[in-house]
């Protein structure tokens, strides 16, 4: 895959990963603060949390693979 502006592409990926981490932190805080309000949407929240953690894990994992080469 050829990226015309690699620096901007990497910067956008980094922003995406940090945004996902921020959203995960906010969801965690909300679940701890308001457990009774979160109960009806528990399945959706778990799905979102797992998706975001996969995204962040993939970003950091692939970033480390790139550094080793």
Report how far apart, in Å, the C-alpha atoms of 25 and of each of 9, 18, 28 are.
25, 10, 5
pLDDT digits (tens, 9 = 90+) for 23-57: 999 988 988 998 888 888 889 989 998 999 898 88
Confidence band of 63 (pLDDT split at 50, 70, 90): low
**Residue indicated by tokens 């962040």:** 56
Four-residue CA torsion sign, 7, 10, 16, 20: negative
């Amino acid at each position: 895959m050829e990226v015309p502006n690699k620096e901007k592409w990497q910067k956008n990926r980094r922003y995406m990963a940090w945004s996902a981490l921020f959203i995960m932190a906010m969801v965690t805080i909300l679940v701890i603060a308001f457990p009774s309000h979160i109960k009806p949407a528990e399945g959706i929240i778990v799905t979102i949390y797992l998706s975001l953690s996969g995204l962040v894990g993939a970003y950091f994992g692939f970033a480390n693979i790139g550094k080793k080469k």
